[in-house]
Amino acid sequence: MYRRITVAIKNKLSLTFAAMTQEEQLKKIVDIIVPNNNMHAKWLNSLSMMENTGARKISKFEHPVYTNIIVLKHAAEEARHAYYLKKQIEKLAPNSCPDYSYPYLLAPIESYHYLHQLDVSACRYIKDKLHLEGREMKHGAYLLVTYAIEVRADMLYGIYQEALSKYASKVNVKSIIAEEEGHLEEMQKMLEVFHPQWEQLAADMCAIEQALFENWIVAIDKVFLAELS
Ligand SMILES: [Fe+2]
Ligand SMILES: [Fe+2]
């Protein structure tokens, strides 16, 4: 009997969640995470892993000779975000997330998949749409993926910071928000140089990113539903 009721609640919760906008979904997620130190630590560790992956991707993309100060700054700041988020864990649950292995992340498979699939989809899109190959294709994919991630970072860190303030958390991400805003402007300038129809390319890439983000956030929600059983 109890099990049947739990299954019914879970089905209802997952249906309601799927009908929400991504802003509403994220608000619901952070509202559950922030007051729970152990879950919050894993959330921070998951974001740190994604920031670190971003920093490593930028460094990999850098040309060994023709790298400008904007790209260097961007790589340095993404690496700082990974470190900063990791450091915040000490305020909540010290030594709880020593590395980025699965037990220390929320929805680990979807978290890794999100970043990897963004790259794969961007390369395919550039190849089909602009018929670019090799280094040129990689450059275009780098610009579009980074742009879409910066749009997402703006939304995600803004909503997350609201919850941190609401619960008077010891954690804050205000310095990250300021730097992500700068990155978005820089990516826009680089895209303007890359292609005259950059706005259409960026919109298509953001649509691809939205589907992958949906997959990620639904997986995070399932972590909470699993706690109910
Ligand atoms: Fe970042
Ligand atoms: Fe960024």
Per-residue pLDDT of the chain (229 residues; tens, 9 = 90+): 555 655 555 565 666 888 899 999 999 999 999 999 999 999 999 999 999 999 998 888 888 898 889 989 999 999 999 999 999 999 999 999 999 999 999 999 999 999 899 999 999 999 999 999 998 998 899 999 999 999 999 999 999 999 999 999 999 999 999 999 999 999 999 999 999 999 999 999 999 999 999 999 999 998 877 775 5
Query: Distance (Å, rounded) from C-alpha 19 to C-alpha 221?
Result: 13
Neighbours of 192 (CB within 10 A): 11
Interval between CA 180 and ligand 2 midpoint (Å): 4
Helix axes 198-228, 134-166, angle to 10 degrees: 50
How far is ligand 1, taken at its centre, from the CA of residue 185, in Å? 14
CA of 10 to the centre of ligand 1 (A): 33
Count other C-beta atoms under 10 Å from residue 90's C-beta. 14
Q: How far is the CA of 95 from the centre of ligand 2 (A)?
A: 26
Residue 161 and residue 165: Cα distance in Å, rounded? 6
Contact of 208 with 122, CB cutoff 8 Å: yes
Task: State the ligand closest to the CA atom of 73.
Answer: 2
Question: Ligand 1 center to residue 15 CA distance, Å?
Answer: 31
Rg (CA), the chain: 19
Single pTM value for the model: 0.90
Structural contact between residues 153 and 180, judged by C-beta atoms closer than 8 angstroms: yes
